[in-house]
Structure formats: C-alpha cells, structure tokens
Amino acid sequence: MVDIYSIFKTTEYDEWIEQCSDKAKAQIASRLEKIAKYGHFGTIRDLEDGLWELKWKSGRRVYYAYIEELNILLLLGGNKNGQNKDITKARKILSKKIED
C-alpha cells in the first residue's frame, strides 16, 4: 500500500519530539502513521494562513502545514498550556520555510 501523505519534519519539530516521553512519542508516531497511510487526521484545527494543529485530549499539540502534492510538514509541537507561544513560533517557522 502506498502512503497517501508524505510527512517531513523541521529541525524544531525533531528537537521538540526528542524531549517527549516514550509514551508520547508512540502516540504521536501512531497518529502520523494513520495520516500517512489512510489520510485520517483525527481532531484538528485550522489556525489560518496555512497553519494547522493536531489535537489530543491530553492537551498535546503538533503544528503542521500542507505543502503541495499531498505532503505534510511538521513544524513544532507543544501542549495546550503553552499553545499561544507555540502557535506564534510555528507561524515563524512556516514563514521561514515559505521564504526558503
């Protein structure tokens, strides 16, 4: 079976995920696999200007952008309690990637 989406990661995302617990890493990996293989995103929110948010009930968030040809760019992650700061940072990362 061919993946529906290709998922790419920013350096900022990689640094964030490394700090997560093994349980959190497994949950995120499972969700990303469902997105890649089946196009099932689960609970999401459109943050406008090309920025999206994967949401978990635990408060965990992963910020991403769609890029052409069914690709996903993971920008950053965080938790609900730091959400405003994380969204601002994710927007900056996305703007930088668009300029490149």
SS (H, E, C) 16-42: HHHCCCHHHHHHHHHHHHHHHHHCCCC
Tell me how crowded residue 48 is: count the other CB atoms within 10 A of its CB.
8
Please report, for the chain, the start and end positions of each structural domain, with discontinuous segments joined by +. 6-99
* Residue 75, pLDDT score: 93
Q: Is it true that domain 6-99 has CATH number 3.30.2310.20?
A: yes
Mind listing the pLDDT tens digit of every residue in the chain (100 residues)?
Answer: 788 999 999 999 999 999 999 999 999 999 999 999 999 999 999 999 899 999 999 999 999 998 877 688 999 999 988 999 999 999 999 988 877 6
